[in-house]
Amino acid sequence: MAGVTLDTVRKVYAGNVEAVKGVSLGIEDGSFCVLVGPSGCGKSTLLRMIAGLETISGGTVKIGDRVVNQIEPADRDIAMVFQNYALYPHMSVYDNMAYGLKNRGTPKDEIEKRVKEAARILAIESFLERKPRALSGGQRQRVAMGRAIVRKPQVFLFDEPLSNLDAKLRVQMRVEIKRLQRALGVTSIYVTHDQVEAMTLSDKLVVMSGGQIEQVGTPSDVYRRPETRFVATFIGSPPMNILPGKVEGPGRVSVGGQMIQVTDMRDGLAPGSAIEVGLRPEDVQAGTGAGFSALTMDVDFVEELGATQLFHGKVAGAEFVVQASTGQIPADTRSLTLSIDPSNVHLFDPQTTKRLGRV
């Protein structure tokens, strides 16, 4: 087992396009690290650099204590699961899993033992003789996982492995991947653009945007204390509402003339300066409460999600969404009074987009 350490890793493509702009990150041995971000944020490029499929333009990548910049993918002691599974179409499931071991000159009986073991763990024993084309998407995904685990690598790399599966299977495989990783205890790096996958799988969540890391932390850290406006709106569904506001004084901001109390607010902000006020749709309640601030909202329409309803409308001229349990608010409501818990208010600098919380 080994951790992975990235030190100011950069990737510059021909034409001076910088896909990864100096990323430093430590991934502890045995942990599950998820890189999440919108497409084009450099997360896959970063993963491919760790795998050795892309050259590293600057910085160092270490697996364990070894700098692997100049080491071939085959010798990095890693295994990768690809988005399209990348199974060898002309080989049986057994041969797909045995290929990497054969290439390394593992004795035949050892190969058989390991493949059988992996097949048992993944419940694919009954189609070891089949070709990949005779398998369903979920089964192919398992074979791809099997191919990774028979090698007993130091690090697992996952490149959006679930995005080709249908929604139901995705949830099921997600749970299985997590369970498998726990059982094997192998350091895993997982790339996805799906924030639900990111939240549920990770021990360490890395949010990326524009080739840079926006925030690193546990999923709940990132959710509770987003460091930038980007992270705030990217993690959480529906995304956080951002309202234009004004600093009124210590622990007080206003939105469209309505006062809001804030627990987590940086000291020394000049009264009257502009500020962005972030509120999660699930953190605001209808009605009023003691010690809570109030905001009025004009409702445009309601989306029914079954257990919950989404109220779309405007607060102080800005788009606003409120999530409420079905039946809590009458669906024909045109105007809502919202109560805001001071500890649920997030503040961001309009210029730097950084969080303006307590230091």
Partner 1 sequence: MEKRALFSSKFLPYMLLLPQLAITIIFFYLPASQAIWQSFLMEDAFGLSSEFVGFENYRYLFQQPEYYRAMVNTAVFSTAVAVLSLACSLLLATQADKNLRGGEAYKTLLIWPYAVAPAIAGVLWIFMFHPSLGTLTRPIRAVGIDWNPLLNGDHAMLLLVLSATWKQISYNFLFFLAGLQSIPKSVIEAAAIDGAGPLRRFWTIIFPLLSPTTFFLIVVNIVYVFFDTFGIIDAVTGGGPAGQTTTLVYKVYADGRLGGDLGGSAAQSVILMVIVIGLTAIQFKYVERKVQY
Per CB under 8 A, 84 contacts partner 1: yes
CA distance 236 to 19: 25
Tokens 């080491």 belong to residue = 71
Q: Which residue in 83, 200, 261, 296 binds partner 1 (CB under 8 A)?
A: 83
Per CB under 8 A, 151 contacts partner 1: yes
Structure tokens at 234: 């990217």
Per CB under 8 A, 306 contacts partner 1: no
Output the CA–CA distances (angstroms, integers) from residue 52 to 13, 108, 157, in the order listed: 15, 28, 11
Q: Which residue in 72, 109, 267, 332 binds partner 1 (CB under 8 A)?
A: 72
Structure tokens at 220: 């709940």
Q: Which stretch binds partner 1 (CB under 8 A): 18-26, 73-81, 297-305, 322-330?
A: 73-81
Per CB under 8 A, 193 contacts partner 1: no
Q: Which residue in 147, 174, 178, 229 binds partner 1 (CB under 8 A)?
A: 147
CB of 234 to partner 1, least distance (A): 26
Q: Which stretch binds partner 1 (CB under 8 A): 81-89, 176-184, 192-200, 229-237?
A: 81-89
CB of 39 to partner 1, least distance (A): 17
Q: Which residue in 47, 78, 121, 315 binds partner 1 (CB under 8 A)?
A: 78
Per CB under 8 A, 104 contacts partner 1: yes
Q: Which stretch binds partner 1 (CB under 8 A): 2-10, 67-75, 258-266, 278-286?
A: 67-75
CA distance 325 to 57: 50
Per CB under 8 A, 99 contacts partner 1: yes
* HSE-up (13 A, CA, CB side) for residue 19: 19
Per CB under 8 A, 51 contacts partner 1: yes
- Return the number of the residue (158 or 234) whose C-beta is nearest partner 1: 158
Query: With helix as H, strand as E and coil as C, how does the chain read?
Result: CCCEEEEEEEEEECCCEEEEEEEEEEECCCCEEEEECCCCCCHHHHHHHHHCCCCCCEEEEEECCEECCCCCHHHCCEEEECCCCCCCCCCCHHHHHHHHHHHCCCCHHHHHHHHHHHHHHHCCHHHCCCCHHHCCHHHHHHHHHHHHHCCCCCEEEEECCCCCCCHHHHHHHHHHHHHHHHHHCCEEEEEECCHHHHHHHCCEEEEEECCEEEEEECHHHHHHCCCEHHHHHHCCCCCCEEEEEEEEECCEEEECCEEEECCCCCCCCCCCCEEEEEECCCCEEECCCCCCEEEEEEEEEEEECCCEEEEEEEECCEEEEEEEECCCCCCCCCEEEEEECHHHCEEECCCCCEECCCC
CB of 25 to partner 1, least distance (A): 21
Q: Which residue in 74, 134, 259, 274 binds partner 1 (CB under 8 A)?
A: 74
Per CB under 8 A, 12 contacts partner 1: no
Per CB under 8 A, 82 contacts partner 1: yes
Per CB under 8 A, 86 contacts partner 1: yes
Per CB under 8 A, 90 contacts partner 1: yes
Q: Which residue in 15, 17, 39, 133 binds partner 1 (CB under 8 A)?
A: 133
CB of 80 to partner 1, least distance (A): 5
Per CB under 8 A, 60 contacts partner 1: no
Q: Which residue in 4, 25, 50, 87 binds partner 1 (CB under 8 A)?
A: 87
CB of 68 to partner 1, least distance (A): 13
CA distance 33 to 26: 10
Per CB under 8 A, 146 contacts partner 1: no
Q: Which residue in 15, 17, 89, 332 binds partner 1 (CB under 8 A)?
A: 89
**Given the rule CB under 8 A, which residues bind partner 1?**
51-53, 72-75, 78-80, 82-84, 86-90, 99-100, 103-104, 133, 147, 151
